[in-house]
Amino acid sequence: MTKRESVGRLMGPMALLLVVCGTGSAASPTPVNLGKAGTFAILTKTGITDVPTSAVKGDVGTSPITGAAILLTCTEVTGTVYSVDPSGPMPCRVTDATLLSAAVGDMDFAYTDAAGRVTPNFIALGAGEIGGLTLVPGLYKWGTGVSIAKDVTLSGGPTDVWIFQVAGTLKQASATHVILAGGALPQNIFWQVAGAVTIGTTAHFEGVVLAKTVIAVNTGASVNGRLFAQTAVTLQKNAVNEPGSAPTTPPTTPPTDPHPHHDR
């Protein structure tokens, strides 16, 4: 066990100091397997609302609710919109209830996998406030909600993994950024959140969100990653880019600097 692993289990300000300033690195967990859900940029059970115009790169789907609950238009999606029935946007819509059932099942399995990881490297870091920190790879656990009031940096290599277990809500303040450094990739970052997820106005977020309830992406915010909600996803003039795709901005209200994946 490294020095950081042994001290990372401490609570409160001491753990806060060590994760930012300590030497060594925590053990990187294995990635969460997304299964068939891994082909989607947005996947939900109860629908996707949208205040246009948004720009989504990647496939979109919702199940078991009808495709009429997908309020994106084809011009807003670079990819395929999957529906359980012949409703939803055309001509980008494909009816495939079998694929969606499997993908939603895998989404639920991924949530359970992430929530069930044991032996966290860091517990209750910052008492739930991670803004202003630089976070190394590892398994992070909070019995409360988590806030991002300032920019937060995730620093590690392209094969490193972060898993954040959040028992409450996840709230990112407006105009803040999740920044990736050292070659870190959004597909290796997993935010398992039991409560609602809110990404603030013109904020930028990185990673795969595995949400038990709603994911609300406020006006002009951007996401490099995936939005998986066991209820709904709400969009308001957002850019959502699946990992590996070139970043885009909404056609009408571009978000602030999306910080592409390089050292700041």
Give the Cα separation of 136 and 139 in Å (integer): 10
Q: Does residue 92 form part of some domain?
A: yes
How does pLDDT run across 106-153, given as a tens digit for each residue? 999 999 999 999 999 999 999 999 999 999 999 999 999 999 999 999
Residue 19 falls inside a structural domain: no
| Residue 18 in domain | no
What is the total count of domains within the chain?
1
What confidence tens digit (pLDDT) does each residue in 213-249 have?
A: 999 999 999 999 999 999 999 999 999 999 975 555 4
CA diameter of the chain: 56
The amino acid at residue 117 is R
Tell me, yes or no, whether 257 lies in a domain. Answer: no
| Domain membership flag for residue 14 | no
Residue 250 lies in a domain: no
Rounded-to-integer distance, Cα 153 and Cα 6, Å: 22
Which range of residues forms the domain containing residue 162? 28-241
Do the domain assignments include residue 6? no
User: Is the residue at 12 inside a domain?
Assistant: no
Instruction: Specify whether the CB–CB gap between 235 and 51 falls below 8 A.
Output: yes
Cβ–Cβ < 8 Å for 144, 169: no
- The answer to whether residue 70 scores a pLDDT higher than 60 is yes
Residues 102 and 98: their CA atoms lie apart, in Å, by 6
